[in-house]
Amino acid sequence: MRGSDFSALSAFVMIVQERSFRRAAARIGLSPSALSRTIRDLEERLGARLLNRTTRSVAPTEAGRDLYDRLVPAFNDIDGAIEVVRTASHRPSGTVRLNLPKLAADLVLAPALGRFARSYPDVHLELVIDDGLTNVIAAGFDAGIRPGERVERDMVAVRVTPDLRTAIVGSPDYLTSRPPLHTPRDLKDHNCINYRFAASGALFRWPFARNGEALDVVVEGPLTLNDTDLIRAAAVNGAGLACTLEGSVADDLAAGRLVRVLEDWCQSFPGFFLYYPGRRQMQPALRVLIDALRVGKA
């Protein structure tokens, strides 16, 4: 195989994964027109059309999908072999840009930052707190952390928390002045502290499930916030009920500043995962971060 063939095949894989000539060209460092010519030349040499192009999208043909499915494992093997050689002789260094929600920062990153900085002084972490659903790769991040059900397709996902569970909480003073709650439908009689996603503007729907019945409840109340620390503080100070992660309010529950309600309706979910594109050669700095955060690490 000629060097030009390898470059063209690598460009083809990038286009399929990005679903865009423009984004793939930016990643490779070519103009979109030059990248388009590269793919046309590759298709002529192979005698097969690999991509269906429209003004809005790019998708592989059947032949293109077959070629992609064979190329990706081969390229991963090549990247892995190169990385073994590189990491054997270099101490991890460089910058890792990580996009993650506030709750993940509190639960996953905050406890590990001191130990990680001492172990890898040449690695610079740039953490961007983002409770939206930013396309982290298109935005130039090396990896992201999201709840398991929110991880983007075609990504490699590594578990960084065990299963998590939601908690509905309020202050003792607030709860003594309000009617008791037996089911999520009783929330209509309570002040609930809403969370609004900054990116989409949508309100978070409180999730409940019990005995095969599942409910996603839109709640009402005097406060709508987009910061989880403010929501916890508002609940502690008697503003109403909050829906959060039980790990985020464990100290408040233990100290009696908050009380749980509807606990039998609060179910576990898969927790947080760090994810990154498998196509990308993994830099040593990202590898050691993953190893430090992976569930099961001391």
The DSSP H or E segment spanning 244 is strand 242-245
- The pLDDT assigned to 29 comes to 85
Confidence of residue 18 (pLDDT cuts 50, 70, 90): confident
| Structure-token match 């983007």, residue found | 152
Distances (CA, A) of 263 to 142, 243, 246, 248, 260: 37, 11, 10, 15, 6
Whole-number mean pLDDT of the chain?
88
- The pLDDT assigned to 296 comes to 59
CB 206 within 8 Å of CB 187: yes
- The pLDDT assigned to 298 comes to 38
DSSP symbol at 105:
I
Average pLDDT over every residue of 56-61: 86
- The pLDDT assigned to 2 comes to 60
Chain segment 269-298, per-residue pLDDT in tens: 889 999 998 755 678 899 999 999 998 543
Please check the confidence at residue 176 and state whether its pLDDT lies above 90: yes
Q: Give CA angle at 102 (97, 106), nearest 5°.
A: 95
Distances (CA, A) of 18 to 25, 63, 102, 115, 233: 10, 18, 27, 35, 41
Average pLDDT over every residue of 24-37: 87
Phi (first) and psi of residue 272, to 5 degrees: -95, 145
Q: Where are the alpha helices (DSSP H) in the chain?
A: 3-18, 21-28, 32-46, 62-89, 102-104, 113-119, 172-176, 228-236, 250-255, 284-293
Average pLDDT over every residue of 181-208: 92
Chain segment 217-274, per-residue pLDDT in tens: 999 999 999 999 999 999 999 999 999 999 899 999 999 999 999 999 998 888 999 9
CB 256 within 8 Å of CB 121: no
- Higher-pLDDT residue of 242 and 177 is 242
For the ranges 90-99, 116-125, 185-194, 276-285, which has the lowest average pLDDT?
A: 276-285
- The pLDDT assigned to 175 comes to 96
Residue ranges and CATH numbers for the domains of the chain are: 3-88 (1.10.10.10), 93-163+271-293 (3.40.190.10), 165-268 (3.40.190.10)
Cβ atoms within 10 Å, residue 166? 20
Share of the chain above pLDDT 90, in %: 56
